[in-house]
Amino acid sequence: MPDTVMPTGPDRTSKAATAARIYDYYLGGAHNFPADVAAAKQIIALNPATPAIARANRAFLGRAVQFLVDAGVRQFLDIGSGMPTAGNVHQIAQQAAPDSRVVYVDIDPVAVAESLELLEGDPTVTAIQGDARVPGEILGHERVRAMLDFSQPIGLLMCAVLHFIPDDTTARATVSTLAGALAPGSYLVMSHFNMESWDVSPEDEQAGLNVYRQQTATPVGARSAAQVAEFFAGRADIVEPGIVPVPLWRPAEGDPADFTDNPGASAFLGAVGRIHAVRPQPAARV
């Protein structure tokens, strides 16, 4: 991994680590501070496959966006978008459909500022600061409402974000509120940290989780495939191939090949669901 970081100064060297900038380091980006680099190196020391895991997850996001564009989606709401890096959602979408519109949302103000700088002058893309745990504020934000038409299908992207909301009740409420605001024919795209095929010792696993708990404001909590399925239940029909390790979700030529022999070691499950109209519940028998 590169050791290049953003220019340092009193305000930068004192910045606490954030998940967005740690992830940027995994991907080889330069939008990170010394605290992010230190935390990322601790994780990588525990599991050297971590950068490959980030690349596999990023590749899944790209394939999912392409799938949605091919399905006719032209609007995207990317929750937990992180730092701007290669293969951004708007770049993938607009290459195939130039009229695509994208709103990036992240809790990290630095990630939002960097995104806005990158997007300056582009009227089809914007970024806002928002907390996924307060979805109503995201949906009500003036730039979200100005950019996206909620009467038409939207691609709701929640990749590598819900494991930073380890409380199940809060996470389910977040998805319910966001997905519930979408028109039928919209899509929910999700990737989630999963340890069911995790190729790391329990001790190193706990040490890695502790890095996020102790050095960032966003602790991590893994979920099983069954728990991931609950986010889609009752609101979206999961498309083929279902909930699978991210390298197995509609693989394409040029994908990273790091987990060819053991896809589960990619540590992320991915799934895409098509939002359907609210289905009436059967009347209770009397």
Return the structure tokens found at 182: 């979408």
pLDDT at 179: 97
pLDDT at 273: 98
pLDDT at 73: 98
Mean pLDDT of 202-219: 69
Instruction: Say what percent of the chain tops pLDDT 90.
Output: 64
Q: What is the mean pLDDT of the chain?
A: 87
Q: What angle do CA 128, 131, 137 make, to 5 degrees?
A: 70
Judged against a pLDDT cut of 50, whether residue 69 lies above it is answered with yes
Judged against a pLDDT cut of 70, whether residue 204 lies above it is answered with no
Q: Terminus-to-terminus CA distance in the chain, angstroms? A: 65
Judged against a pLDDT cut of 50, whether residue 3 lies above it is answered with no
For 11-31, write each residue's pLDDT tens digit: 444 478 888 888 888 888 888
Judged against a pLDDT cut of 80, whether residue 89 lies above it is answered with yes
Tell me the domain boundaries of the chain: 49-275
pLDDT at 199: 64
Judged against a pLDDT cut of 80, whether residue 213 lies above it is answered with no
pLDDT at 178: 97
| Residue 104, H or E segment | strand 101-106
Q: Could you give phi then psi for residue 53, rounded to 5 degrees?
A: -60, -45
| Closest of 188, 199, 127 to residue 161, by C-alpha | 188
| Closest of 263, 271, 269 to residue 193, by C-alpha | 269
For 241-253, write each residue's pLDDT tens digit: 999 999 999 999 9
Band (pLDDT 50/70/90 cuts) for residue 9 is: very low
Q: Could you give phi then psi for residue 246, rounded to 5 degrees?
A: -55, -35
Return the structure tokens found at 56: 């596999």
For 171-200, write each residue's pLDDT tens digit: 999 999 999 999 999 999 999 999 876 666
For 152-177, write each residue's pLDDT tens digit: 999 999 999 999 999 999 999 999 99
Instruction: Say what percent of the chain tops pLDDT 70.
Output: 86
Kindly report the three-state secondary structure assignment for every residue of 241-271. CCCEEHHHCCCCCCCCCCCCCCHHHHCEEEE
In whole angstroms, what is the distance from residue 224 CA to residue 57 CA? 17
pTM of the entire structure?
0.88
Identity at 181, one-letter amino acid code: A
Whole-number Cα distances in Å, 120 to 58, 101, 104: 23, 14, 13
If one counts every other C-beta atom within 10 angstroms of the C-beta of residue 85, the result is 16
For 112-134, write each residue's pLDDT tens digit: 998 999 898 899 999 999 999 99
If one compares 4 and 264, the residue with the highest pLDDT of the two is 264
- 49-275 folds as Rossmann fold (3.40.50)
- Exposure class string for 220-250: b at 16+ Cβ within 10 A, else e: bbbbeeebbbebbeebbebbeeebbbbbbbb
